[in-house]
Amino acid sequence: MNSKEKDSSRKTTWKFLLQAGTLVISVTVFIFATLSVSRLLAARNQAGQKQEIKLKAADKTEWSGSQVSPLHRIPLHDELNQKIIPAAPNSLPFSSRYSCEPCHSYDTISQGTHFNYRQRPATDRRTEPWFLVDEKAGVQLPVSFQKYPGFWSPEQLGLTDWKFVTLFGRNLNGGGPGEPSQQNQTPDSRWNVSGPLEINCLGCHHRSPLQDHSEWVKQVMRENFRWAATAASGLGEVIGMASRLPSTWSLADGPNPDDHEWAVVPQVKYNQNFFDSKNNAVLELPRPEDDRCLACHSVTPRQATSRAAVDRDVHLQSGLKCVDCHRNDLSHEIVRGFEGEKLSHSRLKASDFTCAGCHLGEKPEKGGFGFTGRLGAPRPAHKGIPRVHFERLSCTACHSGLLPEKEPQAIYTSRANRLGIFGKAVWTSEFPLIVEPVFVREADKKIYPERMTWPAFWAEVKGRELVPVDSVEVMAAAPEVFSLKQDVAALLNSLLPLAGEGFYPAVIISAYLFEPNVDGSLNVRLLEKTPLTGKVTQDRFLLVQLKNDEARPLLPEFDPDEPPPGLEEKVLSVLQNLKSLARGREPVFLIGKYVYRITEGYLDKMEKTGQPAPQPEICWLQGDEYKPFLSPFQVRNLAVLGSGPGILTEEQVSLALKKLSEMNPGRKFAYVGAGFIFSLDQAGKLRAGRHPAAGAVSWPLAHNVRPAQQALGKNGCTDCHSPGSRVFFGKIEAASPLNTTHRATVLGADLMKTGQLFQFLFGFTFLVRPAFKLVLAACVLVIGLLLLVVIIKIAGRVSGISGDSPGSGNRS
């Protein structure tokens, strides 16, 4: 009995313990959960309150709530934070840091897209790089702070902030590298002379007909950094050039009273009409106008003959402005508008301003159920376009850029080719060579239309790595190789006395006419018919004189025994001109059995030894040998250069590489261009090879957006899908400053990674598609009709209408 009671009590105890344990655990979990939730809620409340306070404060300083941009009647301050008195002599230029800061946080704005180059978000899509261009050395190298393959960072190229700003300041808005920290001020810089290149707020916001981008460029080129914004705004005129001042000069030194001609200290003379009686500047500063953006963001096909021949972006034609889509708040982080963009400083929602953001809104292409997009943008029907196109193509693939042709077209862009800078000089540069559109599959598996270029540069080969060599070093090693056109232009200009009135000398080589231009180089024209016969390898050329389109031989034929009056003076003048270019040779003029030469400053006519000259000729006398006026090297290479857009020939590259190697024994050099790397082999012969650094560089384009009627696919699938499709089978050949037969070539299908064979076969199916559709339609019709009959029969039987229904049998 006792033992039974014991057992019973033990059982009760275990059960009790289990229940008690469960209770304790439950209570503990309950308390823990309650405390955790309470703490979370409290934290959330606190965070919410803090954020609310912060937002209100920020909103107050940023926007009053009005849609109107106020007229700015504000005191301007200089970089010493002193108010500018426009009538005062020796006034300093205004400083946007001190003039705008009282109302708009300069530091916040400094984080903006156009200023904060170094710390752009890593998620930011590739954009057009800057281009380090040297038209003599054949260099076009993409430079960017963005870390993408093919882009060279300024650090890699040894470009300090100073160099970067002097090279690219023409299209910088100031800030960023224009205001380097103390540690970034290198010994080669002249910041103390030029001053900082502050953010040029007026460059974008100033609505004034006097606001002038070209003036900004000129001032930056003169190293007048601190004066550039004032001069470009038209608020004042700036004279002087900081670039001519000694590097020891500083603002405190003031103007140099002894030099009014050369090293003139930059000075501002303010236009007092822009100031009120209290010396406040009166400025209209609304949202930026399109022209301000287009000063740096224009793109033009090279084949366009005039501005009138180019269509603008369809959005601009429709009345939108750039800033309607590319918006920003105070952070000045501009919405770029690509899918997947993430803003790091701005409080705007980037996805609202993509193509889909305006044209589709939340509706179902974007997976939502909201209303259509912003700004009343028309909603596309995209009729007949299969779903895969929206999954695999960006909107811009069909809607943006130039229409695809058999080959992508060469274009100019503002930043790369220096468009939009007006003055006496022609600023537009032919290099870099950029083409569009090429269609490239990006990391997100979507196909984008892009602009493409191929880097060209001189490099030192270190193992598998290529280290770009400064073109100054290369040209110093072989100056005569790179000054080919300049040398010939100088020679031709020396012959001017022999030309008739209004005529100027030129030379015909092969099928090309070369004439000197104002830049001291040569322009080339293709002749319909060349007077030269025979092969180019004969190193033949013909000196001519030109007037408009009239050409006649330059060298006069006359009887040397009875020369026409005044002619010998002309010959003397030419020979004197040529003497300065002789390089150890003696210029002579041959005619018949005579040779004209300069002896002790006078023209001397002597009998020529050997055979008489068959025709008048200007030559170089070297020893006892008469050398042609233009060397075989010059003739040969000009003949090659005449045939293409290049500025270098393989022979020039080969010679330059040899010279570089001779001057730098133990180092190996190469030239990268046309998608290849060119280096000398053991035998000293130029060889072309492949290297990743020689590969094409591309970046997505977004503008100009074409009207929907010009979108790819508007004419049907065969706009892209056909056996000879321009999109898939358009040949993309590397454009380069080097004239070479070695050119990297790729087809569109390869860049899109769609496969050539597949695209060919797929394109082929579109030839039989109409028949396919007819057959399918016939099948659908027949099957549908038969199904309809069966359905009617079944319905009849079920409803009892049909005579042979089960029910009808029973009734009968």
- Which spans of this chain sit near other proteins (rule: CB under 8 A)? 364-365, 381-388, 390, 716, 755, 758, 761-762, 765, 769, 772-773, 775-780, 782-784, 786-787, 790, 793-794, 797, 804, 806
Nearer to other proteins (CB atom), residue 382 or residue 570: 382
Look at residues 70, 74, 98, 69 and name the one whose alpha carbon lies nearest to residue 276: 74
| Phi/psi at 94 (5° precision) | -75, 155
Nearer to other proteins (CB atom), residue 309 or residue 781: 781
CA dihedral for 622, 628, 630, 636, sign (positive or negative): negative
Nearest distance in Å: CB 811, other proteins: 16
**How far apart are the C-alpha atoms of 58 and 47, rounded to whole Å?**
16
CB–CB of 362/371 below 8 Å? Answer: yes
Structure tokens at 449: 């239309």
Nearer to other proteins (CB atom), residue 376 or residue 386: 386
Nearer to other proteins (CB atom), residue 310 or residue 777: 777
Question: Which residue matches tokens 């920290």?
Answer: 181
Structure tokens at 455: 């880097």
Nearer to other proteins (CB atom), residue 403 or residue 778: 778
Question: Which residue matches tokens 């290369």?
Answer: 474
Nearer to other proteins (CB atom), residue 425 or residue 786: 786
Nearest distance in Å: CB 761, other proteins: 6
**How far apart are the C-alpha atoms of 142 and 433, rounded to whole Å?**
11
Structure tokens at 642: 């005449």
Nearer to other proteins (CB atom), residue 362 or residue 365: 365
Nearest distance in Å: CB 506, other proteins: 57
Nearer to other proteins (CB atom), residue 370 or residue 806: 806
Nearer to other proteins (CB atom), residue 553 or residue 784: 784
Nearer to other proteins (CB atom), residue 531 or residue 803: 803
Nearer to other proteins (CB atom), residue 547 or residue 793: 793
**Overall size of the chain counted in residues:** 812
Structure tokens at 270: 């303010």
Beta strands 648-649 and 738-739, pairing class = parallel
Nearest distance in Å: CB 372, other proteins: 13
Beta strands 676-680 and 686-689, pairing class = antiparallel
Nearest distance in Å: CB 762, other proteins: 6
CB–CB of 640/649 below 8 Å? Answer: yes
Nearest distance in Å: CB 149, other proteins: 25
In whole angstroms, what separates CA 196 from the centre of its chain? Answer: 25
Nearer to other proteins (CB atom), residue 385 or residue 708: 385
**How far apart are the C-alpha atoms of 423 and 388, rounded to whole Å?**
50
Nearer to other proteins (CB atom), residue 435 or residue 720: 720
Give the three-state DSSP class for 294: helix
Query: Rounded to 10 degrees, what is the CA torsion of 570, 576, 580, 581?
Result: 50
Q: Mapped to the 3 state alphabet, what secondary structure does 188-218 carry?
A: CCCHHHHCCCCCCHHHHHCCCCCCCHHHHHH
| Phi/psi at 793 (5° precision) | -65, -45
Give the three-state DSSP class for 269: strand
Structure tokens at 496: 């001017």
Structure tokens at 239: 């004279």
Nearer to other proteins (CB atom), residue 20 or residue 790: 790
Single-letter residue type at 806: P
CB–CB of 330/62 below 8 Å? Answer: yes
**How far apart are the C-alpha atoms of 692 and 253, rounded to whole Å?**
51
In whole angstroms, what separates CA 661 from the centre of its chain? Answer: 33
Nearer to other proteins (CB atom), residue 612 or residue 755: 755
Look at residues 634, 595, 636 and name the one whose alpha carbon lies nearest to residue 618: 595
Nearest distance in Å: CB 764, other proteins: 10
The residues, ordered by sequence, that sit 6+ positions from 234 with a Cβ below 8 Å of its Cβ are: 208, 209, 210, 211, 212, 215, 271, 274
**How far apart are the C-alpha atoms of 447 and 425, rounded to whole Å?**
40
**How far apart are the C-alpha atoms of 272 and 164, rounded to whole Å?**
35
Nearest distance in Å: CB 95, other proteins: 53
Nearest distance in Å: CB 446, other proteins: 12
Q: What does each C-alpha distance from 681 to 457, 654, 668 come to in angstroms? A: 19, 10, 11
Nearest distance in Å: CB 353, other proteins: 21
Nearer to other proteins (CB atom), residue 360 or residue 647: 360
Nearer to other proteins (CB atom), residue 1 or residue 771: 771
Q: At what angle do helices 632-642 and 650-663 cross, to 10 degrees?
A: 130
**How far apart are the C-alpha atoms of 428 and 416, rounded to whole Å?**
9
**How far apart are the C-alpha atoms of 56 and 801, rounded to whole Å?**
75
Nearer to other proteins (CB atom), residue 20 or residue 786: 786
> What DSSP character marks residue 548?
T
Q: What does each C-alpha distance from 164 to 153, 161, 168, 589 come to in angstroms? A: 11, 5, 6, 50
Nearest distance in Å: CB 379, other proteins: 9
Nearest distance in Å: CB 734, other proteins: 29
Nearest distance in Å: CB 326, other proteins: 26
Describe the strand order of the beta sheet including 465-468 as a list of residue ranges.
Answer: 465-468, 457-462, 669-673, 676-680, 686-689
Structure tokens at 88: 């005062």
Nearest distance in Å: CB 396, other proteins: 17
> What DSSP character marks residue 719?
G
